[in-house]
């Protein structure tokens, strides 16, 4: 029992073939085109007729060379269409992806609760704290008096490698 696809291809392409049946290598090429592009036999026949008109010969015979040329033409048309779509997509691109600038937490909020020093961001807060602190406000006098005064760091004069640290040679 013959394959229904093969019978349909023979029926459609019988007029284009030199013999009334399609040669096995040509049939394999047509089936390959159908598989690659996921098209039914009727659509493949329409593409064949379109290709025949584009070439300009009405009595074009279907052989292995013309079947391969048809396959190449279909592939070229698909690539051309793909390039045009890619060009249209690149023209339609908008600006950069908007980012949430006010968020100061980690990127995926994965560290919240895992690392004890990580402040949890609460809804409505900018930097994770519950009360707003004016960062540009001068500290009050009482706060300044409560904190111990810091002394300046101890500075030592540099010495030469041959000298002792506290005196002469």
Contact 92, 110 (CB under 8 A): no
Q: Report the C-alpha gap between 20 and 78 in whole angstroms.
A: 30
Token representation of residue 120: 């949890």
Query: Which residues in the chain land under pLDDT 70?
Result: 1-2, 18, 90-159, 163-169
Q: Report the C-alpha gap between 163 and 68 in whole angstroms.
A: 92
In a domain, 35, yes or no: yes
In a domain, 72, yes or no: yes
In a domain, 20, yes or no: yes
In a domain, 17, yes or no: yes
pLDDT of residue 56: 83
In a domain, 95, yes or no: no
Q: DSSP string covering 120-156, please?
A: PPPTT-SSS-SS---TTPPPPHHHHHHSPPPPPPP--
Residue range(s) defining the domain that contains residue 80: 4-90
pLDDT in tens, 106-144: 666 666 666 666 555 555 555 545 455 556 666 666 655
pLDDT of residue 127: 52
pLDDT of residue 61: 86
Question: What is the domain count for the chain?
Answer: 1
pLDDT of residue 74: 93
């Amino acid at each position: 029992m013959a394959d229904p696809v093969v019978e349909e291809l023979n029926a459609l392409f019988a007029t284009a073939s030199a013999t009334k049946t399609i040669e096995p290598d040509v049939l394999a090429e047509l089936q390959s085109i159908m598989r690659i592009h996921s098209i039914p036999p009727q659509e493949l026949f329409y593409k064949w007729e379109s290709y025949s008109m584009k070439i300009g010969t009405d009595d074009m015979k279907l052989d292995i060379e013309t079947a391969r040329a048809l396959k190449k033409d279909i592939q070229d048309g698909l690539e051309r269409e793909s390039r045009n779509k890619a060009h249209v997509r690149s023209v339609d691109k908008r600006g950069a992806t908007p980012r949430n600038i006010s968020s100061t937490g980690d990127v995926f909020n994965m560290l919240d609760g895992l690392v004890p020093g990580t402040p949890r961001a609460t809804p409505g807060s900018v930097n994770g704290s519950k009360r707003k602190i004016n960062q540009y406000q001068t500290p009050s006098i009482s706060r300044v008096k409560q904190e111990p005064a810091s002394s300046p760091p101890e500075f030592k004069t540099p010495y030469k490698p041959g000298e002792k640290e506290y005196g002469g040679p």
